[in-house]
Amino acid sequence: MQTRRHTLLAGLGLAGLGLAAPGLLAGTARADALETRALGFHNLHTGEALTIEYWQNGVVPEDAAAAISHVLRDHRTGETHPIDLRLLDLLHALSLQIPSLRPFQVISGYRSPQTNATLANASAGVARRSLHMQGMAIDIAVEGVATSTLRNAALAMNGGGVGYYPDPGFVHIDVGRVRQW
C-alpha cells in the first residue's frame, strides 16, 4: 500500500531518495525549489484554524510566515515569534507520513520567555531553555491518529527531538539535536 508520501514523492521523481535526505530538511540543497508545500493547523487554545501554502517555488511568502507565527503565537501573552523553517519542513514531512489529512492540533507553539518560566516553575516537565521560545518546537496531536503513531513517525524522521506524552495526548517535536523522551 502506498502512502501519501510515496505518491507525492513519486510524482516529484524523488521516491527513491527517502525522507532522510538531509538537504531537503536542513535547507542545504533545494532540489525541490519548484514545489509547493502546505500545512494545516488548529490551535486548540484560541480555536483558530489555518491551512496555508508556506513554501512556494523556493520562497516562504511573507504573509504565510506572518500567518503561521500568528496562529502558533503564545496564547497566554499574544506574543508572536518567527517559526523556524526547519520546523515547518519537519511538520510537512511528518504530515506525509501519517494516515490523516487532518490539520495539526496545536497544544503549544511559540512560548514567550515569561510564559515558559511560569510553566517551568509549575512543572518539572517543562525545560527552562525550551526550544518553544525560539520558534523551534511545537506540541501537537492529530485527530484520528494515535499519539504513538505520531511519535513513531516523528522518530523515524530523525529530524530533532521527540517527546511522547500519551496521557495528555500529544507529541513534542523540535528541530534541536536528535533525542527522545
Residue type, 41: F
Cell of 56: 512556494
Q: Can you give the pLDDT at residue 4?
A: 41
Contact 77, 114 (CB under 8 A): yes
Maximum Cα–Cα distance across the chain = 49
Residue type, 147: T
Q: Can you give the pLDDT at residue 32?
A: 60
d(C-alpha 25, C-alpha 113), whole Å: 27
Structural domain boundaries of the chain?
33-180
Tell me the whole-structure pTM to 2 decimals: 0.80
Q: Of 7, 178, 154, whose CA–CA distance to 170 is shortest?
A: 154
Tens of pLDDT along the chain (181 residues) come to 334 433 333 333 333 323 333 333 334 345 566 789 999 999 999 999 999 999 999 999 999 999 999 999 999 999 999 999 999 999 999 999 998 899 999 999 999 999 999 999 998 888 999 999 999 999 999 999 999 999 999 999 999 999 999 999 999 999 999 999 9
Residues 33-180, CATH architecture: 2-Layer Sandwich (3.30)
